[in-house]
Amino acid sequence: MQIPEPVQFKGAPGSPYTRKMLAYLRFRHIRYQLLVGDQTTGHNLPEPKVNLLPTFFLPDEDNSLQAVVDSTPLIRRFEADFEQRRSIPEEPVLAFLNYLIEDYADEWLTKAMFHYRWYYQADIDMAGTILPRWTAIQAPEAELQQRRAYVADRQISRLYVVGSNDITAPVIEASYKRFLHIFDRMLQRHRFVFGARPSSADFGIYAQLTQLAKFDPTPAAICMEEAPRIHAWTDLVDDLSGNSAADDDWISLQDSADHLKELLSEIGRVYAPALLANAEALQAGEDTMTTTIDGQPWEQPTFPYQAKCLQWINEEYQRLGNNGQGQVDALFEGTGCETMIVR
């Protein structure tokens, strides 16, 4: 069933995935209606199976309204339904690399976002104060103070879910800083990850940076000190409705090797071992994954969704065929990303 416009969805400014989809829809020139907080009241909207933001309300094959979450498959559905200004390169190898980098942003960079927000007191104070006000701007101050305590206590208690603790904090923070420098160098060569046209990987990276570079005090200060270009880029990506979307705006596959090598090496350095250890622990029936990432110990609860992420990366790889796989193998060689591919 074709998605009707305006697209209706529920979200919040402090949700990186809400910001990802907002920027994506603006670039694509797809009309939308964002519902925040109690703006959903009276709309008689279906509830999602898992309460995540953003939640889109889209028709199924029988034209019944369904609550749909998960930004990556949502973008693929929009890519299929709307022809203009697509954000996934047509070249199959570039499309695969786009998928991988988007996944890294969604699943690894978000560790840094969650870690900084709920690990340091200045960030806890900021998020605890502002997040409740975004969804209940007219609430009495006493109620907002109660919400602040509830939100902070709940989220701090969930730090372990993303692997944030005193042991893993140095790994997360060092990876964030390396990413800033790598991405800064990439932006000096091209406006976006794959050239002059934004991809879904750009929107995935942007999503986390709306919080890391712009909202949470500790990582935002790091960004301003070490990579102010990224602070500015995040502002620009917020609304790319006027950006070009010509077919020749994509980088060539030949030019992508040097342009992406550093980022692929960072993905192979931290995200690949996390995905592999998680999948291995789940296969063994364990509740906790224990591994070494970047030469340091890492421990966190197993995460079934990220086992699916590894599976989906491999499914995308298998779709390439022998020629495309060979090109990816050459790009991956020595980066650590090659360890994710099941032979």
Q: Report pLDDT digits (tens) over 177-223.
A: 999 999 999 999 999 999 999 999 999 999 999 999 999 999 999 99
Confidence of residue 8 (pLDDT cuts 50, 70, 90): very high
pLDDT of residue 297: 93
Q: Report yes or no on 269 lying in a domain.
A: yes
The reply to whether 34 and 103 lie within a common domain is no
pLDDT of residue 14: 94
Q: Report yes or no on 162 lying in a domain.
A: yes
Using a pLDDT cut of 70, give the percent of the chain over it.
100
Token pair 């694509």: residue: 28
pLDDT digits (tens, 9 = 90+) for 27-85: 999 999 999 987 777 678 898 888 899 999 999 988 889 999 999 999 999 999 999 99
Q: Report yes or no on 87 lying in a domain.
A: no
Q: CATH number of the domain that 263 lies in?
A: 1.20.1050.10
pLDDT digits (tens, 9 = 90+) for 258-312: 899 999 999 999 999 999 999 999 999 999 999 999 999 999 999 999 999 999 9
Total domains, the chain:
2
- Structural tokens at position 222: 């790091």
The reply to whether 17 and 103 lie within a common domain is no
Q: Report yes or no on 211 lying in a domain.
A: yes
Look up the domain containing 20 and give its range: 7-81
The reply to whether 306 and 285 lie within a common domain is yes
Q: Report yes or no on 1 lying in a domain.
A: no
Last-in-domain residue among 28, 51, 81: 81
The reply to whether 34 and 182 lie within a common domain is no
Reply yes or no: is the peptide bond before residue 54 cis, omega within 30 of 0: yes
pLDDT digits (tens, 9 = 90+) for 89-135: 999 999 999 999 999 999 999 999 999 999 999 999 999 999 999 98
Q: Report yes or no on 237 lying in a domain.
A: yes
Q: Report yes or no on 145 lying in a domain.
A: yes
The reply to whether 23 and 123 lie within a common domain is no
Cβ proximity of 5 and 59 under 8 Å: no
Round the average pLDDT of the chain to a whole number and report it: 95
